[in-house]
Amino acid sequence: MRPPEVADLYGAAGDAEVLVVGAGIGGLACAVALSRAGFDVRVTEQAEELREIGAGLQLAPNAVKALCHWGLEEAVAAVSVVSQSVEYFDLDTGEHLFSSVLGLAAAARYGAPVHQIHRADLLGILADVLPAGTVTLGRRATDFDVRDSGVTVRFADGGTMQTQLLVGADGLRSPIRQQLARPEPPRYTGTVGWRGLLTRERAEALGFGHACYCYLGRGRSIVLYWLRSGEVLNVIGFVPVDEIQRESWTESGDVDSFRRSFATAHPRVRRLVGSVESAFITGVYDREPLDVWTDRRVTLLGDAAHPVAPYLAQGAGQAIEDAAVLSAALSAQRGPTDSRSWTGAAASAALTHYERTRRPRTTKLQAVARATESFWHERDPEQIHARNGRFRGITRIDPLGETVWSWLFDYNPVTQSYDTSASRSAGITSSREYHRLARAGSQQAMEAWRGAFTPGDYAAGWKGLRRAYERMLTTVCSPAPGVCTEHVDAGGVPALWVRPQGRHPANPVVVLYLHGGGYIGGAAAAGIDLAARLADAVNGQALAVDYRLAPESPYPSALDDAMCALRWLVERTEHETKIILAGDSAGGALAACAALRARDEELPPVAGVYAMSPLADLSLGSPSIDEREGTDAAVSRDLLTDMSACYLQGRDPQDPYASPAFGEFRGTPPLLVHAAANEGLVNDATRLVERVVATGGNATLRLYDDEVHAFQLFRFSPDAAEALAEFGRFAHSWLNRTAPAG
């Protein structure tokens, strides 16, 4: 028999169909979504009063779409602020780095604006639309028993409750999670956040307009945005924990300590911090992603499932997304609308569907947020310079900030289905898992690309992608036995002589090989196998160049290094030595750029250029990038934008020495271009050849069906051997010619 206090609480209506533990934003959003869908839902909360301590939060379009679906758009708009842009600055110098439009532009692009709102205001909006008696305060759930027939939830006061389905929305230190999943404590990041408010008059006097501001510094940052219909400016300062003494929402910190942490910041920031009269301080925590967060009739939601560091402003938004998707999953499995009896199979199917739909996205988001903290709070001056340069490049290549935000903002949790969210993992991989190529070798190469980058690699930006790309090449593309290598200094640039077995060092044919990797990754050592096979194709040897990588060394560093190696080859080799430039992906474009510059510098002509799947247009103007989105496992627009931004850092993307698709090729050596007909960069290949021919050069194009980007990297690819044999024939047809084409 149910204890009297519980019977009194829930009355004659009986046990809940769905019990949500936790009345924070996620728990109340879940209750709103379920009640709107006709479910009998109850919420229990351990706090004695329904309130959210803290300050502001940001609701991005992905979350706002759900709030609109629940009819809450007007209520949210009445108490929130829609900033027109987010502006990024260097904390120490005040340099403006990047601007991304929000406001009406974001609403037009993503289907909803970005709202900044006080936590307490959002909590009140959600609570006000729930049926009377939905929420019970002062009742702390401690544990549960799950059976095929239902769930028994126990409370700290000794009471119990029966429910068909249990949702743990009880936050970072969730007792429901503790029993359901791994029991390890939250991970403390070593960072604390100061949170305070400034009046509109004071903030405007300091020059802060109707925007969101992010200042990034050495080991610290400050984020500013407006709340309460623009009457107050929310101030959040993240600093290392050893610079403060306490980390509790409920205690006000010593603002003098806050000011000391930003004593070296730009004067505008120092004036801002000096104007904050009181601030809360809290530790920044997250957790490792869960492998499973559902058990039969029990699941988790929001921070209980996937607590996320605050640097993407998505904690509340992801909980709201969870609520919308959970409601849809339950509605799809529910029987007649007047039936509230769930079989074990139906309950498990619905909650498993919800988890499978949500977990790929939240796993990536947790990783990206963690990487963003490292990215924002760089300490190494070289990496700070690289970070700032990348931001400048994004501004030039992607003025709407779609590379930064689209994978988050495009998502609509109301309409999202499992088929589209899990198989096309929204930025976790760049291709749909169900897309396959016809031939076994081609599919093996596709899987090599697809498996090259983990969610953590993508999340870590250029550092993660760099590690992953070299890891793939050294494991999947290891050189055959007998290849000889020798480290050399090629005119001040490190390089490797690569000689197939039995090849004499004095062989008169040299392939100057420039590796791929989007200018942010790759290495000569990782490209030994392809370099050796290129050398073998021309019965010669190869010099693989370790050119400098972006963003630490932006344009024209890679081209400068390629030219140093080329001049070194010209100066040290005999007159009869023939040099061929070759490269894959970015290296293919770099080879074409080097041919242009060699002509302009009037160097002795090389015998030819071989470009494999060249990244020939860093303005990313090729239609095939978007047309092949989701089917090319190697490249996507987001990835290419990041690469281009890291390399160019605000320079003209149509500079022919960066993007040979805009070059003038009269007087350059002949060019052979190979690409996969179905890859994202196929138009880069076709446009490059068209440009060469149109400007008086000589170019040959061959497209291979049912292949992957830079398929020559994979010796098991069905067309790799034929492509390199054609390269050999192309090279030998020009080796005895002394004058360039045209």
| CA gap 542, 128 in Å, rounded | 72
Give the type of residue at 288: E
3-state helix, strand, coil in the chain (%, to 5): 40, 20, 40
Amino acid in position 173:
R
3-state secondary structure 61-101: HHHHHHHHHCCCHHHHHHHCECCCEEEEEECCCCCEEEEEE
Place of tokens 């004067």: 267
Nearest residue to 214 (alpha-carbon basis) of 318, 312, 307, 112: 312
CA–CA separation, 637 vs 522, rounded Å? 19
Helix 315-333 with 61-69: angle, nearest 10 deg: 40
* Residue that the structure tokens 């505008």 belong to: 268
Longest dimension (CA), the chain: 100
CB contact set of 546 (below 8 Å; sequence gap of 6+): 493, 494, 495, 496, 523, 524, 525, 561
The set of catalytic residues is 225
Rounded to whole angstroms, the Cα distance separating 713 from 285 reads 41
For residue 43, report the phi and psi dihedrals to the nearest 5 degrees.
-130, 130
* In the block, residue with structure tokens 């790759």: 522
Counting other chains too, the contacts that 475-481 makes at CB distance below 8 Å and 24 or more residues apart are 476/448, 476/452, 476/714, 477/526, 477/527, 477/529, 477/530, 477/713, 477/714, 477/715, 478/529, 479/528, 479/529, 479/532, 480/529, 480/532, 480/715
Do strands 220-227 and 212-217 pair parallel, antiparallel, or not at all (unpaired)?
antiparallel
Bridge partners of residue 584, in order along the sequence: 612
3-state secondary structure of 737: coil
Rg (CA), the chain: 29
Cα 727 from Cα 702, distance rounded (Å): 11
Rounded to whole angstroms, what are the CA distances from 40 to 27, 37, 272, 333? Answer: 14, 9, 48, 15
Residues 6+ away with beta carbon under 8 Å from 572: none
* Contact (CB, 8 A) for 345 and 335: no
Burial 98-127 (b: 16+ CB within 10 A, else e): bbbbbeebbeebbbbbbbbbbbbbbbbbbb
CA dihedral in degrees (646, 651, 657, 663; nearest 10)?
A: 120
Task: Report the distance separating Cα 414 and Cα 71, nearest Å.
Answer: 13
CA distance 522 to 524: 7
Nearest Cα neighbor of 59 from 240, 318, 427, 438 is 318
**Which structure tokens are listed for 56?**
């502001």
Query: Measuring CA to CA, how many Å separate 494 from each of 259, 408, 546, 620?
Result: 46, 40, 5, 30
